[in-house]
Amino acid sequence: MKSGKAILMGAGIFAVLFIIYYAFGHPYFNGNRLTMFVCVMALSITILYYIARANSGEKIYLRIIPGLKAFDEAVGRATEMGKPVLYVPGIMDMDQVETVAGVIILGHVAKMTATYETNLNVPVSRSIVMEAGREIVKESYLSVGRPDLFNDDMVHYLTDEQFAYAAGVDGIMLREKPAACFYQGKFYAESLILAETGNSIGAIQIAGTASPSQIPFFVTACDYTLIGEEFLTASAYLSQKPALLGSVKGQDMGKFIVMIAILLVFILNGVHDLGWIDIDFKEWLRVE
């Protein structure tokens, strides 16, 4: 709690200093970006505050997400059937948040496959994702004391081309018949092709993506789907690390602030339409 208070105090001092600086003409500061600056600072401080609270031992509650609970079940099923686990980390590069989240979740799945001695197959469509994937899988196998089970070919490159990649992954599914398929990352039109093939071979399928246009396909064809932020919260849920749990709580508070802002803007806009106030508050939210 002490470090949480220290962050709030630091933020308060910073805010006062910034107001003074701004009042004195704010040289070197682009006034058009003030709204963005305030948003970044407010969100960062909120998240840091809750991370500090979590690190100091405060218990952070995280609600149960069925899709994440099913991870263990899926790997366990593959182990019982003596079949491999297929993990698809999306088709985009490491500059996408979803791919980063997908690679982090891969680390957790790799820990499970290493513990249960189940084969893991990770076809990727980007060279940097392949390198990151290999690093994280190797790390996971080392952390559970099974480096002997790891080999570089677990994470292998297919192609950058979207539909060629989908064709390649489909081929792997049909020939290896994995018992569990994970689709965690950024997907486009190949999502349904992959999920339908996985469905046809009877694999238990868990998808996770923040791509709104692809979620419906995964919901239709997969057993469990992590929708949007559920997917981005997965690493916190699976690792139960205080810092990550704290950041989830911080983001929740951020969402709460956004909800209040939405409601306020909606009501104020109505009042503005009636001609009771004459302030163009929408301009405040515009970022140049």
Site for other proteins in 7-46 (CB under 8 A): 35-36, 39-40, 43
CA angle 245, 247, 249 (to 5 degrees): 75
Among 131, 139, 146, 239, binds other proteins (CB under 8 A): 131
Closer by beta carbon to other proteins, 19 or else 259 = 259
Strand order in the sheet with 120-124: 155-157, 120-124, 85-88, 180-184, 204-209, 224-227
Judged by CB under 8 A, the stretch of 8-16, 78-86, 113-121, 244-252 that binds other proteins is: 244-252
Distances from the Cα of 46 to the Cα of 18, 102, 172, 286, angstroms: 18, 25, 45, 22
* Tokens found for residue 249: 């709580």
Place of tokens 């994937």: 133
Residue 277 binds other proteins (CB under 8 A): no
Closer by beta carbon to other proteins, 104 or else 120 = 104
Q: What residues from 171 to 230 belong to the interface with other proteins (CB under 8 A)? A: 171, 174-175, 189, 192, 212-213, 215-217, 219-220, 227-230
Among 6, 128, 142, 243, binds other proteins (CB under 8 A): 128
Among 168, 176, 199, 239, binds other proteins (CB under 8 A): 168
Polymer length in residues for the chain: 288
Q: What residues from 46 to 105 belong to the interface with other proteins (CB under 8 A)? A: 60-63, 65, 93-97, 100
